Chain A
Amino acid sequence: NAGVTQTPKFRILKIGQSMTLQCAQDMNHNYMYWYRQDPGMGLKLIYYSVGAGITDKGEVPNGYNVSRSTTEDFPLRLELAAPSQTSVYFCASSYGSDGREYFGPGTRLTVT
């Protein structure tokens, strides 16, 4: 049981480039989330999904897109990367019934 996995662990992008952060979970959780964590700050919700085919915006969605074609996978797409998107990105999943979320190890992204 791998839990929540994220790839890559680290990435450096140039301004204007695009990339997809991968997230997968093997716990059959319906709910999945993407957060970003800026230095010295708490996590902020980017997008979330309550099931395959259903996604919704969180607090800071601008500059990002998501899709949820399967229960297991929830990729986050960055289009036209900007320095403001330099952050650590966490994916999480949950059953949705008890609030408890399980986090991946994070992806450190730098945009220069």
Chain B
Amino acid sequence: AQTVTQSQPEMSVQEAETVTLSCTYDTSESDYYLFWYKQPPSRQMILVIRQEAYKQQNATENRFSVNFQKAAKSFSLKISDSQLGDAAMYFCAYSPPGANSKLTFGKGITLSVRP
């Protein structure tokens, strides 16, 4: 069974600084998807970024980028120029492709942003 591990329960960053959130996963599959979801206090789950395992290039979405290390099964999220609105819980998630598509989530990390 696939597992997703987020070992840091909380992190804090100064506004305008950069922060990296860590995630590791375990799978025997060679093809899969990885995600970072943001959950603000409104509890809405918002997709931040998505990575396809067969692509070596790291995904980026504006201030958000990932460091995908397939051999190490590591998938970290970097947030640049942190903003107060970035404060939220962040979940790392894994999904196999195709007919077995369903997400396995890590426990999440609470990110606070200091003004």
Residues of A within 8 A of B (CB): 31, 33, 35, 40-45, 48, 50, 58, 88, 90, 92, 94, 96-101, 103, 105-106
Residues of B within 8 A of A31 (CB): 101-102
Interface residues of B toward A: which range? 20 to 34
Distance from A107 Cβ to chain B, minimum over Cβ atoms (Å) = 10
Checking A42, A98, A100, A105 against B105 with a beta-carbon cut-off of 8 angstroms, the contacting residue is: A42
**In contact, A106 and B44 (Cβ under 8 angstroms):** yes
Residues of B within 8 A of A92 (CB): 45, 103
B34-68 vs A, Cβ < 8 Å mask (1 yes, 0 no) = 01000000111101001000000000000000000
**In contact, B105 and A94 (Cβ under 8 angstroms):** no
Checking B6, B97, B102, B106 against A33 with a beta-carbon cut-off of 8 angstroms, the contacting residue is: B102
Does B95 touch A at the CB level, under 8 Å? yes
